[in-house]
Structure 1
């Protein structure tokens, strides 16, 4: 049997216990290296990280990508999401300038799963997608991305599984103490007078072993105090001029802002590992993160064509180019000035306890207990000011406002009014945005959104493995995993009205601030004040929007899932034509009980709403076979094949039992389902998972110090989720007499429909300079690229659906130099246009198309351990620039690149700091 021949570098890494992410084979490699008395070579930095990642990729039976920390507490990027986005076939979407969520092989976060040390994690978002900025990179020692599952991966998904891994102190094998500290500054400066443009991030990590290396501990703490700035163009939309389809598109309205944010995050990680003998091992790991993001936003609302008749007299002097009005004048325009504050507070807690026992050389067992919980509270404050209250204009309060469209940068305006004048611009809603039921039309002087998410997950996993000494089957593992998950959302919103309504009130002097500049769109300075202080002083009364708006109730829901996964897997270790053949085949049986609670909402004649409890659920079983094969076609060359049936559970907001209910008593006597008195729209508690068969073929060539890999994949989706009219049983709901003959009707809900496919090709490689010539020693390049396409249709005759998160083209490149203590690198990540999600009205997630972008980061540093100065041993310095080219974030609407929704500029973030290790 021919096996991979480990290089001196690989053996040295194993002997040093550096590959703390690896599994049981790690200890075997370490013992082998010690028996052969291999000289241990310490490899740090990016080359050491790549070597460890390459070893994990090489040894895993599944098709995986891997990231390994360069040193304790030091991943190569500022965040986990940015590191993930550099892997082949993965891409990140930015939120407020930072990488936030990740797509795998063109499938959005809703179709992927994240785990911590192999355990499924709760999320602070509305659905299942993990927001990776919750996880400080300093506390993560490595990541393995499973593109193909095996039967023991119980948290699998259509796109793949991202497993974040903390350090294993006994496998690490030595004492380590590391401190990192960096200051940071944004080059846009303070866009708001009360914002910040300087911050810091720091971490401290400690790893040690005690009691003759039978007890190991790892402790880490990371603090982030990070400012962020943004110049944001935002458009309401683009109707036709005069609402005539034969007319060109024109700006419907604009909501430009400047934003100053402060993100504070505290993360704590702890691991205790106990291994008193070769038979028993126990490890307890705890992770906690507290996340606070405070945003100060100041800007304007400028109604355009959609404001004709109530905020202006329409668009005049229109100049058209390519079917879009590129310049014109908003006639008799009225403008709203906004001073807003958004806050997000989130806590994530995870604890796991793993125990394994070897009964003898052939039998071992494992039990794992896990618990995780997340809480998120958003608080979005809007306050309004203008030249007069409600409809109409006071003298000097309206003007003809010229504008000029500037491509994807939005519009530039040319105002004549000084919107920073506190005697002219005063508190009070300048438009009739009230509901005229509980709030007079001109009495909406602000608004508050307060959605809240709670997510809790409990899991227990038990398995038994039988080692087989002879034959092609090396071992067989069977086990069961049981999970309970309970997630809920409560959506609330409140109108704000000044206590001295209907008067319009000047901003009290104690709350006035220096004006804020909107010069990036030509609006000049605008009135600025302490909106939070004003609110806390009791200036406003609050009225619940939920009294009249059905969506507040239908967006409040609870979803419970109980999933039992029984699995069996056989590991293959044999030879074919005198070449190594390894892999596994197995089967999962997944039984799910799901239920949801919500509200059925009916609109009353007086404009208010009535609520009734609404429930629903389903129970079902899915069978998920899998096969992974790796064949060594030549020395250091592997051919991989994998196939599996995979599933992704539906979005939780789509499983919502909430229903916007309509009942027509005039049809109470009907027995025709097509003429039923019942109708509605909402969520679907019976919604089934998305299922797919996937096929992968890959080739990997491991070079001395690098590798080349290529792969193709095809995912055949058995179904996809579309909005559809389905038969619904209304028996649980009460209505006044006369009682209907029918208790069923058609509702529009998310439903499982026809499927399609996602397929693509991936290429990647790591090449070092010394492969070409010794004079390039220390240089290296890491490259990857992927092309993905899909076709998913609701019906055979319909147009293909745009899959969220799918960029057809994704590419990454890193050029680095690392020698004599010096380190430098430039990294670029590119993704083509895709359908993403951004924050919309009432802080809801809104689908939009995101334009292609290339984000470039750079860093240089020096490790004084290479200087020969003993007093500076362990000290290194680092300078980083994130978003080096100041790449904007650009979105557009209706698949029309002319209809720019967002153009967001974040500036460059500079960081300077040091790391010290003992």
Structure 2
């Protein structure tokens, strides 16, 4: 392998290639300058990739960062999102420990392009950012993160635009190229052997070429969740329930902030992922080039969890402790307390199992003609077609260890009332020792509690939140460029674009028929303690009064072989033994539900089903400048993009509730098609000054806009009704017994405005050699509004179909906006000036400080930041690349982030925070020869996990525990 050395001529040619968007994606290149052949230069490995990254940033026409693959099919991390977190200002969220979604400068409204245009991802059909777990990293050769817009860039990112780039045949060396890789991965907690196979083949001839790459991998990812299993906080007054002086101060005007649900969950994610990328490229004539690309992904996954959950079931004071901590004043003259160690008197202890499955596929096709004549005009015509579909299921088995008598859950099969789980623990509450003072949240039980399989009963099962969705995308665009020979103005770029995206979602539940005497209904929540109306004719619905219940007793000892299993411990935080329903048997909801309660059928939920058609028409004009202002060289681009967006939203109209007991389903009585449109003009300006040959100053201004997640635009309205009563009946002129609308819930608001912001950038970059950079960047985002939950007044029909008044409806609204101001610092250097073996070292360090503010305040009235934005983030990477050995260790730090907003407490809301994290990854490879390499990768090698706390750092309510994963592999190049 040759060192990458450039003469001034070669440097000029390389710069031109980078600016043309070619060099960023290619592992090798060859060019000619006039009649002189330029030697083919190999640019593989960490050091070469590092140089390409800096070149892309240096010669970009906007504020941009980039990461390029070290070789074909070899991004430097396990996933695309993991790679992106190395860039200043980029933060990620994890799914089962793998990076899945991306924030740029604190905002998740980030659009993702594929080779410069829109793409359709099956994991996020309704939004503009894909789920990066869908996309196999080996198919991507480079990623650019544009932090300031240009007029010619496809609009869609509030804070940034990601451009995923794939190889094309003309990026290859002449002749045939073949590469392949095979690897084995094992997790520290999953204990499964996973594998990945990657293959690439390409051919480049004199005027045509083609390539095909494929990646297939299986993954078993383990993580554990301790603490609050279902987020449900409440402030319980001492006077409520037991009327107990919880802190012993002689009065009962204090309160306890508590979570209803606690538990320990084992979460395992199984993924099968296939990706294929094909490309054909040909010179039709000397001036006309044709490109065809196909990008296909297919991923099946099952997110399974099993564990033990304790809850209060009816919300009385249930924590007994000598260590109550006063946090803030309540509105009764007392204090609100929390507790870090306590004995919980649990009214229900249950074994919980769940399986969420996804089957998702996407295809993106690109056809493009490029014209480059001998005159000043050049241009292209491009057509894209995207198709994506996703099927999602959720299936739950809720089994009791307790009897149910603790909270009054009884069953009656006709022989009299008894607890829903007659063999379970009871009738007293279960003492559970709760402790959040150690490394992990823990729950302690009496010796041998839960060890007897005879005490378990599958009391409740259901399948909800299932949906099928599909989408299509069609784009036709034309772009042109006209060059000038004068000073300053070098060329004008212009273009027109038409895009159409259709999204359909059908949400459904599974219901089974139940008949008791004269009563019959379809049931979703098949619960052995639930009764079907007044079955004894006494006008009461009490089980003890004689009503018959629906479900059967399904003791674990009576279930089919393999359904019930013993679990010895749920991760590193516990070693208790319990029994659970094996979540794998829940993967097929129909099969499982029919085995317990036959006759299940699919029942559509019109309130959460929709169809949206989005049409965008845009035009842009961009002026490019290159010259000198006095003695100061500069480059600039100024222009604007006009976008008109048209929406046709099918909003379902809902009627009466269906004859379905224990489920939420209403009849669809019609559709309302809401058509609306809005227009945006987005100016953009970027200028770069070459203060010296190596020192650049950039400034940028731009307006940005992101269309909404379509699931926030559409759905249906559920109407809450109640008996009018005498006073309201007199006001409305109706019978007191008429059921009148009192409130509503709208799933999706078709009148929401898109995300809009104004962005400012100022940066300085010093390239003190070809492999080194020190940079400082300042940025500011003024965000017009946030999408949040709110209440609007709407006219909803009473039970007789007549609309008589406006009532409050909860839905998504455009709330008050906010700002993010920040600073980014970066330092890159290859230490190739050091002697001997030390010359192979290099480092990358960056730090981002991005405080933000919103209209929300916490319990003490202090302003809260924008959700999911960490004020501080940093990366530290040490790498080595010399001779046959390459090594890299990377640490990523992210400070606390606001995870969500909880209930109203004190002066504001209860903020739920994710504590700071530090993830460390490593990779190493050794070249056996020029064609064969062995490599080792480790992700999360320190087994970092997330603490989630409510308001106060010691008030940890949830922990997400991720595993360490190591990969060994072999890579070949032929």
What interval of TM-score do these two structures reach, taking the shorter chain for normalisation?
A: 0.7 to 0.9
1:400 aligns with 2:452: no
Cα distance, 1:317 vs structure 2: 4.8
Q: Secondary structure of the equivalent of 1:419?
A: coil
1:751 aligns with 2:759: no
1:11 aligns with 2:23: no
Deviations 1:423-475 (A, max 9, x none): 2223x21xxxxxxxxxxxxxx33444413332322111112221112221111
Residues 695/679 of structure 1: CA separation in 2 closer, same or farther (3 Å cut): same
Residues 214/15 of structure 1: CA separation in 2 closer, same or farther (3 Å cut): farther
1:592 aligns with 2:645: yes
Q: Secondary structure of the equivalent of 2:46?
A: helix
Cα distance, 1:564 vs structure 2: 0.4
Counterpart for residue 782 of structure 2: 716
Counterpart for residue 699 of structure 1: 764
Structure 2 unmatched runs, 5+? 240-252, 327-336, 411-418, 511-523, 529-549, 734-739, 902-909
Counterpart for residue 886 of structure 1: 943
Deviations 1:671-718 (A, max 9, x none): 9xxxx9785342321212122221111111112322122110111223
User: Do 2:300 and 2:358's aligned partners in 1 also have CA atoms closer than 8 Å?
Assistant: yes
Counterpart for residue 544 of structure 2: none
Question: How far apart are the structure 2 equivalents of 1:21 and 1:256?
Answer: 53
The 5-angstrom pairing of residues 663-702 of structure 1 reads 680-682=744-746, 683-702=748-767
Counterpart for residue 116 of structure 1: 114
Question: How far apart are the structure 2 equivalents of 1:257 and 1:776?
Answer: 47
Deviations 1:778-830 (A, max 9, x none): 000011111112223389x9975542331111101110111121111110111
Question: How far apart are the structure 1 equivalents of 2:468 and 2:215?
Answer: 26
Counterpart for residue 46 of structure 1: 46
Q: Secondary structure of the equivalent of 2:454?
A: coil
Counterpart for residue 760 of structure 1: 822
User: Do 1:253 and 1:307's aligned partners in 2 also have CA atoms closer than 8 Å?
Assistant: no
User: Do 1:770 and 1:777's aligned partners in 2 also have CA atoms closer than 8 Å?
Assistant: yes
Counterpart for residue 273 of structure 2: 265
User: Do 2:155 and 2:704's aligned partners in 1 also have CA atoms closer than 8 Å?
Assistant: no
Q: TM-score, normalised by structure 1?
A: 0.86
Moved more, 396-405 or 278-287: 396-405
Counterpart for residue 660 of structure 1: 718
1:564 aligns with 2:595: no
Counterpart for residue 340 of structure 1: 354
Counterpart for residue 167 of structure 1: 167
Counterpart for residue 298 of structure 1: 306
User: Do 1:415 and 1:523's aligned partners in 2 also have CA atoms closer than 8 Å?
Assistant: no
Cα distance, 1:247 vs structure 2: 3.1
> Number of aligned pairs?
856
Moved more, 321-330 or 575-584: 321-330
Counterpart for residue 905 of structure 1: 961
Counterpart for residue 424 of structure 1: 455
Deviations 1:814-854 (A, max 9, x none): 1011112111111011111223479xxxxxxx995322111
1:510 aligns with 2:561: yes
Correspondence for 2:375 among 361, 382, 391: 361
Cα distance, 1:630 vs structure 2: 1.0
Question: How far apart are the structure 2 equivalents of 1:667 and 1:351?
Answer: 61
Moved more, 227-236 or 408-417: 408-417
Q: Secondary structure of the equivalent of 1:757?
A: strand
Question: How far apart are the structure 2 equivalents of 1:577 and 1:26?
Answer: 36
Residues 766/586 of structure 1: CA separation in 2 closer, same or farther (3 Å cut): same
1:638 aligns with 2:696: yes
Counterpart for residue 849 of structure 1: 913
Counterpart for residue 527 of structure 1: 579
Q: TM-score, normalised by structure 2?
A: 0.81
The 5-angstrom pairing of residues 295-334 of structure 1 reads 295-304=303-312, 307-308=314-315, 314-317=318-321, 319-321=323-325, 323-331=337-345, 333-334=347-348
Question: How far apart are the structure 2 equivalents of 1:686 and 1:462?
Answer: 31
Structure 1 unmatched runs, 5+? 1-5, 191-196, 430-443, 839-845, 866-872
1:821 aligns with 2:884: yes
Question: How far apart are the structure 2 equivalents of 1:605 and 1:452?
Answer: 21
Counterpart for residue 630 of structure 2: 577
Q: Secondary structure of the equivalent of 1:50?
A: helix
Residues 523/776 of structure 1: CA separation in 2 closer, same or farther (3 Å cut): closer
Q: Secondary structure of the equivalent of 2:851?
A: strand
Residues 725/401 of structure 1: CA separation in 2 closer, same or farther (3 Å cut): closer
Residues 302/291 of structure 1: CA separation in 2 closer, same or farther (3 Å cut): same
Residues 464/669 of structure 1: CA separation in 2 closer, same or farther (3 Å cut): farther
Cα distance, 1:661 vs structure 2: 3.3
User: Do 1:811 and 1:831's aligned partners in 2 also have CA atoms closer than 8 Å?
Assistant: yes
Question: How far apart are the structure 1 equivalents of 2:880 and 2:678?
Answer: 54
1:201 aligns with 2:217: no
Question: How far apart are the structure 2 equivalents of 1:510 and 1:503?
Answer: 17
User: Do 1:559 and 1:597's aligned partners in 2 also have CA atoms closer than 8 Å?
Assistant: yes
Counterpart for residue 790 of structure 1: 852
Counterpart for residue 444 of structure 2: 413
Counterpart for residue 438 of structure 1: none
Question: How far apart are the structure 2 equivalents of 1:864 and 1:34?
Answer: 38
Residues 803/453 of structure 1: CA separation in 2 closer, same or farther (3 Å cut): farther
Counterpart for residue 264 of structure 2: 256
Residues 621/501 of structure 1: CA separation in 2 closer, same or farther (3 Å cut): closer
Counterpart for residue 131 of structure 2: 131
Question: How far apart are the structure 1 equivalents of 2:162 and 2:299?
Answer: 21
1:736 aligns with 2:800: yes
1:618 aligns with 2:671: no
User: Do 1:18 and 1:171's aligned partners in 2 also have CA atoms closer than 8 Å?
Assistant: no
Moved more, 57-66 or 390-399: 390-399
Q: Aligned-residue CA RMSD in angstroms?
A: 3.5
Counterpart for residue 858 of structure 1: 922
Q: Secondary structure of the equivalent of 1:776?
A: helix
Cα distance, 1:114 vs structure 2: 0.3
Q: Secondary structure of the equivalent of 1:554?
A: helix
Correspondence for 1:481 among 482, 486, 497: 497
User: Do 2:619 and 2:642's aligned partners in 1 also have CA atoms closer than 8 Å?
Assistant: yes
Cα distance, 1:287 vs structure 2: 0.6
Cα distance, 1:553 vs structure 2: 3.8
Question: How far apart are the structure 2 equivalents of 1:349 and 1:728?
Answer: 41
